[in-house]
Amino acid sequence: MDISGASAIVTGGASGIGAASARLLAKRGAKVVVADLQADKGEALAKEIGGAFCKVDVTNTDDIINAVEMAKSMGPVRVLVNSAGIGWAQRTVGKDGSYDSAANLDAFKKVIAINLIGSFDCIRIAATAMSTTEPLANGERGAIVNIASVAAFDGQIGQASYSASKGGVVGMTLPVARDLAAIGVRVNTVAPGLIDTPIYGDGENSEAFKANLQKGVLFPQRLGAPEELASMVIECITNSYMNAESIRVDGGIRMQPK
């Protein structure tokens, strides 16, 4: 699919995998809306790549509509990358046997609301805009890529909420792809392994922590670069025969229980 001159929305686009995807989309000629809560980073990136920034909380439908409308003003809407997400870790049952020490249910709901429901809300709004976009020669109107995680398949101790949210993203990929086939929109999901993003912080302690993490990676034994994930995102968008797939990009890691 040719995305030159088309518009693209990247949620969580101000940093990490989202930012790397936004840069590669811009290199391919797309007009990118960086949709994020981080205004300073988002505006700077949008200026760098010749795109636009829209402040978006993916749990707010009006924010999502604003981003899609901004994209429509820049070119035909053909791309959505769902990269916004948060993590949370807590054991299901506490150590003292009290009900109060059980896992925080509000935290569980928040992770699901952002990572899963927010992703679906972005899909339904962006796909609605895509449905009115003039189709390309083969009837194709657009492509959607969700960012999940290997935690969808082998979540670790304490990752119940995160794994449930990302597992939900993987689980909805096929049915949504089947649904959106009627309007010529493809849907794929990329499941990153351990990626070197700002989530790990900076400094000596951070580097020591990452060095320990990467021991579980099969080969190459290191954390992945955001650009390596973004490369797969772009392939899922531009390769018109990629549809309804969930693809691990993880260096062969299989996460241990802890």
Active site residues: 162
Distances from the Cα of 202 to the Cαs of 44, 199, 207, 244, in angstroms? 21, 9, 7, 36
Tokens matching residue 88: 């949370």
Task: Please state, in angstroms and rounded to a whole number, the distance separating the CA atoms of residues 51 and 47.
Answer: 6
Task: Please state, in angstroms and rounded to a whole number, the distance separating the CA atoms of residues 42 and 48.
Answer: 10
Task: Please state, in angstroms and rounded to a whole number, the distance separating the CA atoms of residues 164 and 156.
Answer: 11
SS3 sequence of 42-105: HHHHHHHHCCEEEECCCCCHHHHHHHHHHHHHHCCEEEEEECCCCCCCCCCCCCCCCHHHCCCH
Residue with tokens 């009290």: 98
Residue with tokens 């990752």: 159
Task: Please state, in angstroms and rounded to a whole number, the distance separating the CA atoms of residues 163 and 155.
Answer: 6
Q: What are phi and psi of 81, to 5 degrees?
A: -115, 115
CA 148, 152, 157, 158 dihedral sign is positive
